[in-house]
Amino acid sequence: MSDTPAPTAFSALSPEETEKLQTAFKDIATRSQKLLQDFSERYKADGPQPADPLQLTQTFMDFTAKMLADPNRLVQAQMELWQQYMNLWQVTAQRMMGQPAAPVAEPAKGDKRFNDPAWKDEVVFDYLKQSYLLTARWLQGTVKEVEGVDDKTAKKVDFYTRQFIDAMSPSNFAMTNPQVVKATVESKGENLLKGLQNMLTDLERGKGKLAIRQTDMDAFKVGGNVATSPGKVVYQNELIQLIQYAPSTAEVYQVPLLIVPPWINKFYILDLKPENSFIKWATEQGYTVFVISWVNPDERLAGFVFEDYMKKGPLAALDAIEKATGQRKVSAIGYCIGGTLMATTLAYMAARDDNRIAACTFFTAQVDFTEPGELGVFIDEDQLAGIEQMMSKKGYLEGAEMATTFNMLRANDLIWSFVVNNYLMGKDPFPFDLLYWNADATRMPAALHSYYLRNMYQKNLLSQPGGLVVDSVPIDLRKITIPVYLQAGKEDHIAPAKSVYKATQIFKGPVRFMLAGSGHIAGVVNPPRNKKYQHWLNETATNPPTLAEWQAGAKEFPGSWWHDWDKWLSALSGPKVPARVPGEGGLPAIEDAPGSYVKVRSGE
Work out the angle at residue 408's Cα, subtended by the Cα atoms of residues 59 and 419, and round it to the nearest 5 degrees: 120
Nearest by Cα to 147 from 73, 80, 76: 73
The pair phi, psi for residue 309, each rounded to 5°, is -65, -30
Nearest by Cα to 335 from 417, 262, 233, 408: 262
**DSSP E strand boundaries for 208-326:** 231-236, 240-245, 251-253, 257-260, 289-294
**C-alpha 447: how far from its chain's center?**
22
The secondary structure of residue 532, as a DSSP letter, is -
Q: Is the alpha carbon torsion for 107, 110, 113, 114 positive or negative?
A: positive
The secondary structure of residue 107, as a DSSP letter, is P
Rounded Cα gap, residues 437 and 266, in angstroms: 7
**Alpha-carbon separation of residue 265 from 332, 334, 438, 441 (angstroms):** 18, 13, 8, 6
Rounded Cα gap, residues 256 and 49, in angstroms: 50
Nearest by Cα to 484 from 503, 460, 465: 503
**C-alpha 128: how far from its chain's center?**
31
Contacts for 514 with CB less than 8 Å, ≥ 6 apart: 485, 486, 487, 488, 535, 536, 537, 561, 564, 565
Strand pairing class (484-489; 357-363): parallel
Rounded Cα gap, residues 208 and 205, in angstroms: 8
Q: Are 551 and 231 in contact (CB under 8 A)?
A: no
Amino acid sitting at position 387: I
Q: Are 236 and 317 in contact (CB under 8 A)?
A: no
Look up 336 and say whether it is catalytic.
Answer: yes
Rounded Cα gap, residues 184 and 178, in angstroms: 10
Determine how many CB atoms are found less than 10 A away from the CB of residue 265: 23
Residues in the chain: 604
Rounded Cα gap, residues 562 and 582, in angstroms: 25
Peptide bond into 594 cis (omega under 30): yes
Q: Are 523 and 490 in contact (CB under 8 A)?
A: yes
Nearest by Cα to 218 from 4, 463, 527, 431: 431
Rounded Cα gap, residues 58 and 382, in angstroms: 10
Which position among 295, 336, 435, 468 bears the catalytic label? Answer: 336
**Alpha-carbon separation of residue 523 from 12, 486, 520 (angstroms):** 52, 13, 6
Contacts for 398 with CB less than 8 Å, ≥ 6 apart: 441, 443, 602, 603
Looking from the CA of 232 toward its CB, the CA atoms found within 13 Å total: 17
Indicate the SS3 state at residue 266: coil
Q: Which residue numbers are catalytic? A: 336
